[in-house]
Amino acid sequence: MNEREQDDKGADRPAGVNPGYAAFQLAKALRTSEGHDDPETRSRARDRIAKWAGVLENIICGGANYGSRTPLAQVPAWATLEVVTGGFATGRLLAGGPLQAHEHELIARSRAVVGGEERLSINAHYLTDAGIEELGNLLKTGRYDVAVPEEGALLVVAWLVEHGHADEARTLVEALSPFLASLRFFPIPLKEPRDFGPRVHLQDVRATLASLSAIRPNRRILAQKEAAEIWSPFHDRVVALFLETTADGWPCRRYPDGWQTRALALTAEFVEKRAAHGLCSKPERSKGHSSQLRKLLERAARSPELLTGRDVGRIRAIVECFLRKRGAPGSDPHLDARRRQKAAVRAPAHADVAAVVASRLRHYVPDGGLDDVESPTSPIGATESTATRLPPGTDVPVSIRRKVERSLNESIGVLVGRGIVTSGETLAQVLPQMTAGIRAAGIAEPNLRRLYAAIYRAFRRRRSLLLLNLEKQVQIEELPWVAAIDQYRSASLSVRELSRQTLEELVVVALVSFPHAILPNKLLAELRALAKGAERDIPIVDELAADIFMGRFSGKFVESARRAAELLEGTLYARYYGIDFDAIRALPTAQEPAPRPWFWQSSTGSQTDPFAEHCAARAGVPLGTWDPATNGMIVEQQQIVTTQNLASLIVGLDLREALQDRLGDMARNCFRWICDRHQMKVDRWHAKLIRLKNTAYAWRQMVFYLAVATPDVVADFLAWADDHLEGRRDPFRSRFRPALLELRLAAQGRRLDEPDSVAPAPRPLLGWSKVRHWLLSEEPAH
């Protein structure tokens, strides 16, 4: 990416947040709400309009302090905010808002509801002896859900009261009291208990039901079915009528008795059929034989004398074409052709099969997953066939099976192997189901352990806020109700070992399954939680956004770079990227900075960050600007010298041996990914820039895997890569060949920053640039 190809963000950016981003997102939502064909998509777009309108109002009127971990005034850090893309809080609290279905049910059977203060009354009810008893029963049975962390607060109060900790319970209630009228601090009742264990699912049965219900009949397929079953037979009858009039090879020479009556009846039948079957356009297509012959039949039915010589010639041409193609109506060739046509469209509509599968899924717990997907996706049974008119034994289409499999309860490895978990982001989405149980394993009391797991899982669904000045996201221990029970957790040996084992397995699965991609921030959050449970000191660093980079890195970035030095000193990676690890080791550990304004510029004294200066020097750009391209180049150098968590995790978990036999395949998969992505046609300029950035990510990961592999693996890879690149198309093949040459030079022991290392392409391969990147085409940016 280069300076000219970025959004218009200059170094003289004013204090505060630029409203342009929010306005752009609002405009996108408006276009979708007005122009999209799908009504559900338009409805979702209208929801986004309301959210982004709130963000834009907050920016313009100063209603939110964006960049802070408490962006809304009078709202504590622990409150769960509604957050949209980019980390902007809309101003809405997710535990607040309109009353939900379970609240209405409670109000209906409660006698203590005060008019206009329904939520306060419900919270107050659960603080009575009867309410505490209700919550205690929920704790014992596990029949509750916690959708947002706040919904577990009064369950904690109930547990504390039941176990003789009344003072802690009162302290917690005092902390919650300012929000009892507005937020839900009580759980959602369930019919069956939730399960937290080693098996996870991508989405619950309720979400799968929604996706199946969203399947609509395909109009094109229905039109083809209508053509084969309604209009082709009708056309056959029109042809047969004209064949009755044929003599000496010409139609309309003789008309048998009753012909006009039958012709008029057939034309009237067309009107009735068309009113009932209007999906297929073929009968109305002016240039089509079916439409032309039918109109000529209507004229002949009124009076044969109305037909001109030209009309008769046209009838003859259409009928002869029909006979050559299919034979006479009723003949064996004709009947065989029509049987094949009907067979091609005989398969039941996906929407009809989806409705049957959905009816099966309604017998399962909606909030859970499926231990078995074979039963819900088995062929249509005899009873179902009678009720739906679907042929018995009809197989469930693969596309519908895949939707059901998204609810399959299985281990992470199995879900990845079956293509259900397809990326690091998806992996992060399912992990809280498993890590919640691991984090809770240190709690001896089973009811509290299950409650902690439910709160943890809900907490992990919180979206990250936009933060500046190296502020940290809210941690689960900051929730008052979690802090109240934290003293009852113990870091037992079993918890440490389980956390360590799970952490190792997840890192290996993520790297082997998605070797080309850096670990996403959501996944890193789960890995940090597991590392904490395993008592492993691993400096895990997030991917930083170039447009909000403040010119400083926290101390864990320096420590991560030092871990990389332990592993990569003198390797292919160090030579290829020209890294001076001695200089890295000499850097002081960064200190947490004092808060600084939005318009911060580079300065001297206590505000300098040696590691950031080192990265800026490597990038050859100044530190302390608001130019995204400049900041992107600095952040990319940070990713290079830290390896963006690869070295930290492999060193911290001692995974080199576990990965050794897979490193060659991992490197090949990275190279394949790069080549495949650059063979795809991409028109939008921004999409090309994203592809370029991801290419640099994949290339860097690939170089890392080769750096920790054996020399034989590197040699085999380079030979394979040459052959693989030759099979790609130009211009990518020609543009990319120098990059592979530079990698070969580094593998031979030459540092790419040496003066005699010369190649046509800039080196090493990077994703950010202040000039047009050599991998991009010559077409102008737009």
| Mean pLDDT for the stretch of residues 693-716 | 95
Does the predicted TM-score (pTM) go above 0.85? Answer: no
pLDDT, one tens digit per residue, over 426-475 is: 999 988 888 887 877 778 888 998 899 889 888 988 888 988 877 888 99
State both tokens at 583: 């200089």
pLDDT, one tens digit per residue, over 745-766 is: 899 887 766 655 444 444 789 9
Question: What confidence tier does 768 reach under pLDDT thresholds 50, 70, 90?
Answer: very high
What is the spatial distance between Cα 641 and Cα 652, in angstroms, rounded to a whole number?
17
pLDDT, one tens digit per residue, over 273-283 is: 999 999 999 89
Nearest partner of 509 among 583, 568, 567, 423, judged by Cα: 423
Query: Which pLDDT score, from 0 to 100, does residue 778 have?
Result: 55
Nearest partner of 739 among 711, 712, 707, 702, judged by Cα: 702
Query: Which pLDDT score, from 0 to 100, does residue 153 have?
Result: 95
| Mean pLDDT for the stretch of residues 99-115 | 76
What is the spatial distance between Cα 656 and Cα 430, in angstroms, rounded to a whole number?
26
Query: Which pLDDT score, from 0 to 100, does residue 759 have?
Result: 46
436 in Cβ contact with 453 (< 8 Å): yes
Query: Which pLDDT score, from 0 to 100, does residue 758 have?
Result: 46
Q: Is the pLDDT of residue 706 over 70?
A: yes
Question: What confidence tier does 595 reach under pLDDT thresholds 50, 70, 90?
Answer: very low
Higher pLDDT, 347 or 177: 177
Q: Is the pLDDT of residue 236 over 50?
A: yes
Q: Is the pLDDT of residue 248 over 50?
A: yes
Helix ranges, 569-684 (H): 572-577, 581-586, 610-619, 628-642, 646-653, 656-659, 663-679
Query: Which pLDDT score, from 0 to 100, does residue 599 have?
Result: 37
Q: Is the pLDDT of residue 600 over 60?
A: no
What is the spatial distance between Cα 286 and Cα 235, in angstroms, rounded to a whole number?
15
What is the spatial distance between Cα 173 and Cα 127, in angstroms, rounded to a whole number?
9
Helices 129-141 and 446-459, interaxial angle, to 10°? Answer: 90
Query: Which pLDDT score, from 0 to 100, does residue 191 have?
Result: 83
Q: Please tell me whether residue 455 adopts helix, strand or coil conformation.
A: helix
Please name the residues in contact with 628: beta carbons below 8 A apart, sequence gap of 6 or more.
1, 6, 7, 9, 546, 547
Q: What is the dihedral of CA 277, 280, 284, 289, to 10 degrees?
A: -120
Question: What confidence tier does 483 reach under pLDDT thresholds 50, 70, 90?
Answer: very high
Query: Which pLDDT score, from 0 to 100, does residue 313 have?
Result: 94
**What average pLDDT is seen over the chain?**
87
Question: What confidence tier does 589 reach under pLDDT thresholds 50, 70, 90?
Answer: confident
Query: Which pLDDT score, from 0 to 100, does residue 294 have?
Result: 93
Please name the residues in contact with 597: beta carbons below 8 A apart, sequence gap of 6 or more.
15
Higher pLDDT, 498 or 512: 512
Range list of β-strands (E), 48-139: 81-84, 88-93
pLDDT, one tens digit per residue, over 607-654 is: 678 999 999 999 999 988 878 899 999 999 999 999 999 999 999 999
